[in-house]
Structure 1
């Protein structure tokens, strides 16, 4: 994952190009997501946001998330109802694959172009217009596998 300052600068630049505003609250929510070691839920985001903005309410977070999702700065992990920072913000037609550890909750974004191409081709064959896709794959990360083997 790129560093925080690089991702924030990239988001600010993309917002300027697109004529949309990266407000202070939107930026703060984005920072929290980028800094999170795992996918983070909206309510966990709210808890962290309230440390610096005690008046923050759920709609504050949901509006920021809607904006960040619409701009392609974050991905929603549907199976866990949580969010991660996109590692390639600003790339059009960005299709993402997520590797989700069922043991520790870690989420790694990866890109398998052949998988994306195959899905787009199949959709085209059946006359389906893809707006975006996120493929979620569940399993056990390397660190959890190593920890499990040490315990055995």
Structure 2
């Protein structure tokens, strides 16, 4: 999977890191250098990355600096922390992770569902929050006395750029 190269990710990285710092300060938890490094890798792309993609990227950077290599467990611990605090999301169908693009306010809205639009060609993920879909999920779940704790929907298809490349847009 590739990502379009005409997008400047420095704004995305800065915004995601600032949001993460705000969330951690509010919750009184530490956003360690290692957690920030994992988050920086995820924020540098809109294509979901596996834990091993993140590990390989960080170890490549560490090797260039002469630093010791990270073990997979350290990446999984950082990912677990970032998920727990709503800073990143796991894309279940791809066993991959993506930085939350909705900002710190979105993490606190009750009753909203998260929707991911996943491009089958380039691999990018777009994230949206929907109060109406969240309400529908709560209504359906309520009918069977089910309590949803992570309403997430993944929709596969083609993004606008990939449609244009295929001549469908």
Same-fold status (TM-score > 0.5): yes
User: CA RMSD of the aligned region, Å?
Assistant: 1.8
Q: Which residue of 1 aligns with 2:49?
A: 40
5 Å-filtered alignment, 1:52-63, equals 52-54=61-63, 55-63=69-77
Deviation at 1:42, TM superposition (A): 0.8
Deviations 1:16-53, CA, capped at 9 Å, x for gaps:
22121111000110011011131111111011111233
Q: Which residue of 1 aligns with 2:81?
A: 67
Deviation at 1:6, TM superposition (A): 2.5
Cα contact 1:40–1:83 (8 A) shared by 2? yes
Q: Which residue of 1 aligns with 2:100?
A: 86
Match of 1:112 among 122, 125, 130: 130
Deviations 1:87-112, CA, capped at 9 Å, x for gaps:
12432245310001111211111223
TM-score (structure 2 length as normaliser): 0.81
Q: Check if 1:49 corresponds to 2:58.
A: yes
Match of 1:11 among 10, 14, 20: 20
Report how many residues are paired. 150
User: Runs of 5+ in structure 1 lacking a partner?
Assistant: none
Deviations 1:61-118, CA, capped at 9 Å, x for gaps:
1000000000001111111111111112432245310001111211111223221211
User: Runs of 5+ in structure 2 lacking a partner?
Assistant: 1-8, 64-68
Match of 2:39 among 13, 18, 30: 30
Deviations 1:101-136, CA, capped at 9 Å, x for gaps:
111211111223221211112112221111112100
Matches of 1:82 and 1:50, distance apart in 2? 18
Secondary structure in structure 1 of the residue aligned to 2:122: coil
Matches of 2:71 and 2:23, distance apart in 1? 27
